[in-house]
Amino acid sequence: MENAMRIMIIDDHPLTCAGLASLLASAHVSALIEKVHTAEAARAALLGQNEVDWLFLDIHLPDDPELRLFNWIRETSWAAKTVLISAEMDGNLLSDALASGMRGFIPKSADPELVLEGFDAIRLGAVFLPPQFSRLEKNTSGDAARKPLSPRQQEVLGYLLQGSPNKVIARELDLALHTVKEYVSAIFKIYGVSNRLELLLKLGAKRGAASDQDA
């Protein structure tokens, strides 16, 4: 039986947390949703367990004016699981987030339909931004194949190159099957392919070219 999706919402406003949790639960009835209200508590929770599939992070937390939690997440494998939420967002900050592998930004003012639409797109491997920030996705997508994979993506890629099916990858890495599928989709997007065969051919061609240059 597939494990339930685990979501952590990090926001200092209990009402916002409750509203977002209710909305996500309405669309994903089996999801397990945890609500955290401070940067300190969020870091402790993330360090204490590895079972969270998705993070919804409000950057502007009162106990973290220097954005230490945001910057820490950017340097970890959690980045590839993070969706930013905020009442307002600085474009440069968002560019840094996308460059680190974070999955997008959903404004707190967004309609419920947009929130669910954005999260569905992210779960399928896309980067989601509201229209006013869409140019950032275009500017960063061209560099996607050149930026390093997250540590967890590298692990999944290794198993893909060995021909391991998703169920084997999930078992070996102790991940939910749907989480593995999302990593695989993200890897396909990074390399600009649509299936495993194309990935193998593309990476095989790159490695062959590198070998020729070394010869």
pLDDT digits (tens, 9 = 90+) for 129-185: 877 665 555 555 444 434 556 778 888 888 888 888 889 898 888 888 888 888 888
pLDDT digits (tens, 9 = 90+) for 172-210: 888 888 888 888 888 888 877 888 887 887 776 444 444
Report the CATH number at residue 168: 1.10.10.10
Same domain? For 119 and 197 the reply is no
Q: For tokens 């494990």, what's the residue?
A: 3
pLDDT of amino acid 134: 57
Same domain? For 125 and 159 the reply is no
Same domain? For 134 and 168 the reply is no
Is the entire prediction scored with pTM above 0.75?
A: no
Same domain? For 159 and 105 the reply is no
Same domain? For 125 and 156 the reply is no
Return the closest-CA partner of residue 122 out of 156, 85, 151, 93: 85
Distance, CA of 147 to CA of 21 (rounded, Å): 32
pLDDT of amino acid 95: 82
CB 91 within 8 A of CB 46: no
Report the CATH number at residue 90: 3.40.50.2300
In a domain, 170, yes or no: yes
Same domain? For 210 and 114 the reply is no
Same domain? For 91 and 33 the reply is yes
In a domain, 189, yes or no: yes
Contacts of 46 (CB under 8 A, 6+ apart): 8, 52, 55, 73, 78
Residue at which a domain ends, from 86, 120, 141 = 141
In a domain, 84, yes or no: yes
Domain span at residue 178 reads 151-214
* Terminal C-alpha separation, the chain: 49
pLDDT of amino acid 146: 43
Same domain? For 50 and 83 the reply is yes
Same domain? For 126 and 81 the reply is yes
> Total structural domains in the chain?
2
Distance, CA of 76 to CA of 9 (rounded, Å): 18
Q: Are strands 82-86 and 105-107 parallel, antiparallel or unpaired?
A: parallel
pLDDT of amino acid 2: 52
Confidence of residue 43 (pLDDT cuts 50, 70, 90): very high
pLDDT digits (tens, 9 = 90+) for 74-131: 888 888 899 999 888 887 788 888 878 888 899 988 899 999 999 998 888 788 887 7
Distance, CA of 100 to CA of 95 (rounded, Å): 9
- Report the range of poorest mean pLDDT among 22-26, 32-36, 128-132, 154-158: 128-132
